[in-house]
Chain A
């Protein structure tokens, strides 16, 4: 287990978006994270956004919520994010990865629409995931800047 920060456990919530049944990448990412010492709460394929929120309620120590979407329907599947955030839920970095629009090219406009929903980070390639989590973790641990 990672003891770099004096903690016994780093935990993330992982799953695939509601309309998407692609299991392979999901399992590979879970394996990769476990290999790096993370505890992975894997909600698997076809997971509604509300289930991610419920999982975070059950595991409030989770560092981030990782959502995969390979079928191009990410925007549709994540459309309830603003509503859940307004209700005080899913208050952790939401990281989205995969193929994020219908068709082979994802445009800047596609990505902006996802950010407008409240998606915090978009990763085209799972290879950068652990680095991103380490950066988010470090940022979360930095002391509040002192003013005065």
Chain B
């Protein structure tokens, strides 16, 4: 192990890095760091759009970034391959030599910081590294040296949805070091944007679950000196709930964080089972842009009409950026919605978040409290891959499509919260009873069902690639 100003990384990664002063100077010299893009979007009250994008080969990645830049994104992504996410740098390296097309993202650690700087310099917009690693320390060191000013992840959100058996104590401490280095950089005037992955498992995540995890990670990050946080919330599908959740990001930040920390709400366009027709998929992408603006998000991460079929090609990805941007455009500024309904939703989201996080934050040892709360089910996320979360929470959609708690397991909700969730999920008189699995499957396939009621035809046959089945 080597130590990079408190960031413990492998000796091999450390040996390849430039001097720390060189990294800091290069970051400081970036003409447009991510935080400035977010500030400008916030001031303009119109979110910028960011696509996810990452391919294995370096030349291909340069080409992809340049092609996507022409679609007008505010920030571009370097999405990392899954071997690098799991710290299997040797596997990533072997695949890169043999079959780079088999990598499902850009292996930044393997390519190294010099090539990373080529990516940074290839486009005028800032880059963000998106990955999914429970321990993103080596990757962070290389990303910084590459001049990348935005880094996604956190000790809960990048662990429990992705990894089967990484203890929270490990991931929380790894991300603590990442955040502490951001604090060190902030003291030298370099602000790194840290995005928190509230999207979690991307399947029927109740807003208060997403935001509770984000609040806990945000408090932990702010304690280490992070000065810029993007709090990502996943579009659930019911517009009032989605707008309310984005607005709640700001009120929760005001309640739980030092005002010196800049917090930007971010909408991740719908991450669940995606519509199959380009028309309906496009409509959902457009709606995501609109909801991001109405909710006061500074950024919206776009989807593509090929989402149901796998990793999109560059043209579809660029089209997704444009479509989401149209959703944020002034042509839709006339759109109004029921403010009182949004306010009511926001009130209950904030109350649920408080009931989840207040007992944890009251503990003197935040990380131990988080770990114990997940072990006991007082914090929980649905459909987790991890043995360190119970996943006893059962989410369901209500009649309007909003995501509620059908079973909150051991979450410490008040009677008022439990009553409201139960009331909203009560079946109408005479409704045909369904098994839990049928009901949950229908909720997961929510947009497929809506799409099927329209006169649209999927471009691919039933026996070719189909959307994931649950």
Interface residues of A (CB under 8 A from B): 21-25, 27-29, 31-32, 35, 44-46, 70, 99, 104-105, 126-127
Contact = CB atoms under 8 A, between A and B. Distances in A.
B465 A104 contact: yes
Given A21-B385, A23-B383, A29 B164 contact: no
Scoring B203, B382, B385, B440 by chain A CB atoms within 10 A of each residue's CB, the highest score goes to: B385
Contact of B470 (A24, A44, A127): A24
Find the residue from B164, B387, B444 having the highest chain A CB count within 10 A: B164
Given A31-B437, A31-B440, A32-B436, A25 B470 contact: yes
Nearest to A30: B391
- Which of A28, A29, A45, A46 gathers the greatest number of chain B CB atoms within 10 Å? A28
A44 B463 contact: no
Contacts of B464: 104
A99 B469 contact: yes
Contacts of B385: 21, 23, 44-46
A97 to B, nearest CB: 11
A23 B466 contact: no
The 9 closest A-B pairs by CB, nearest first: A32-B437, A23-B385, A24-B470, A24-B383, A45-B385, A27-B383, A46-B164, A28-B437, A35-B436
Interface in B428-470: 435-438, 440-441, 444, 463-466, 468-470
18 contacts: A21-B164, A21-B385, A23-B201, A23-B383, A23-B391, A24-B444, A27-B384, A27-B391, A28-B436, A28-B437, A31-B436, A32-B436, A35-B435, A35-B436, A44-B164, A44-B387, A126-B437, A127-B438
Contacts of B441: 28
B394 interface: yes
Interface string B378-422: 000011111100010010000000000000000000000000000
Nearest to A45: B385
A31 B396 CA distance: 13
Given A23-B383, A46-B164, A31 B444 contact: no
Interface string B224-240: 00000000000000000
Contacts, number: 52
Interface size range on B against A: 20 to 34
Interface string B292-307: 0000000000000000
Contacts of B383: 23-24, 27
B203 to A, nearest CB: 5
A22 B470 CA distance: 9
Nearest to B202: A24
Given A21-B385, A44-B387, A31 B394 contact: yes
A24 B203 contact: yes
Contacts of B438: 127
Nearest to A35: B436
Contact of A104 (B201, B436, B437, B466): B466
A28 B469 contact: no
Interface of B: 164, 201, 203, 382-387, 391, 394, 435-438, 440-441, 444, 463-466, 468-470
Contacts of A23: 201, 383-385, 391
A87 B385 CA distance: 30
A29 B437 contact: yes
B463 A105 contact: yes
A132 to B, nearest CB: 15
A104 B468 CA distance: 11
Contacts of A99: 469
Nearest to B201: A23
Most buried by B among A22, A24, A25: A24
Contacts of A35: 435-436
Nearest to A130: B435
A45 B382 CA distance: 14
Contacts of B437: 28-29, 31-32, 126-127
A77 to B, nearest CB: 14
Contacts of B465: 104
A124 to B, nearest CB: 10
Nearest to A46: B164
A46 B466 CA distance: 23
A45 B394 CA distance: 18
B338 to A, nearest CB: 32
B446 to A, nearest CB: 14
Contact of A24 (B201, B386, B463): B201
Contacts of A126: 437
Contacts of A45: 164, 385
Contacts of A24: 201, 203, 383, 444, 470
A100 B391 CA distance: 26
B168 to A, nearest CB: 16
A29 B441 CA distance: 11
Contacts of A25: 469-470
